[in-house]
Amino acid sequence: MSWSMGEVSRMSGVTSRTLRHYHHVGLLLPESTGPGGLRHYGQRELHRLQRILVMRELGLGLADIRRVLDSEQDEVAALRQHLHDLEAERDRLSVLVDTVRRTVDSLEGTDVTSRPEELFEGFDTAHYAQRARADWPEQWEQARRAGEEMAPEEAERMRAESVEGMRRMAAYLRAGTPAEAPPVQVEIEGHFQQVSRMWTPDAQAFAQLGRVYAQEGPWREVYERIEPGLADYQREAMEVFAEQRLGAQGRET
């Protein structure tokens, strides 16, 4: 049995344009192509599409997905691994849901027991650590050594300071205070000093750090839990600080 591209689009929620793109890049070839280029997909292609969608949900790019699919022989084992990954992601998201709920309750004044470290529960730092090690190996090594030498109570105090700084920035954002305003820049200077306790960024690195906060991922989620729009506000303020206080090379052109 086979299904037309329109039928596959309706049952999967994947647009016809996306299916054509998958065909074009060799990710999902139709079972057959009829007159006028009409594509038909069989059961095997539907299974492959399902696995493509699963891996997209897990954050893999199309090139990585194709490499995974083309290198696998045991479909059951591959699906079992995907299931394991989804279950792990489900558990992480469950922790994040609880964390956001506690944060909302705390900000609304209904939960006075929320601890600063709870804001970071479910936070996955692996992606950032790998990227920092590749992009800034010396600074990464400096931060790694500083982290190893830091006592647990000091680490907890730094987390608490970070959360309080985020909340003060959120207050400025709600008040409509420009990112370049002196009070905001004083707050950013405090953030720079805190970062410098782990590693010392120059203008370019500090501006890039702000952009990392604003990119999709765990850091953005933390900022957005406190106040929608806070991640971009933090990034803008850090770019201003980098340019005005650390050097003109802080901003990207």
Contact yes or no for 195/203 (Cβ under 8 A): no
Query: Which tokens go with 67?
Result: 């490499």
User: Would you say domain 2-71 falls under CATH 1.10.1660.10?
Assistant: yes
Residue 108: per-residue pLDDT: 57
Gyration radius from the chain CA atoms: 23
Residue 4: per-residue pLDDT: 92
Architecture of domain 123-250: Orthogonal Bundle (1.10)
Residue 161: per-residue pLDDT: 84
Residue 105: per-residue pLDDT: 60
Residue 215: per-residue pLDDT: 85
Provide CATH 1.10.1660.10 ranges for the chain: 2-71
Averaged pLDDT, groups of 10, the chain, 253 residues long: 90 91 92 88 91 80 81 65 74 68 57 47 48 55 60 74 87 92 93 84 87 84 86 95 76 41
Provide CATH 1.10.490.50 ranges for the chain: 123-250
Residue 5: per-residue pLDDT: 92
What separation in angstroms does the CA of 34 have from each of 27, 37, 39? 19, 6, 6
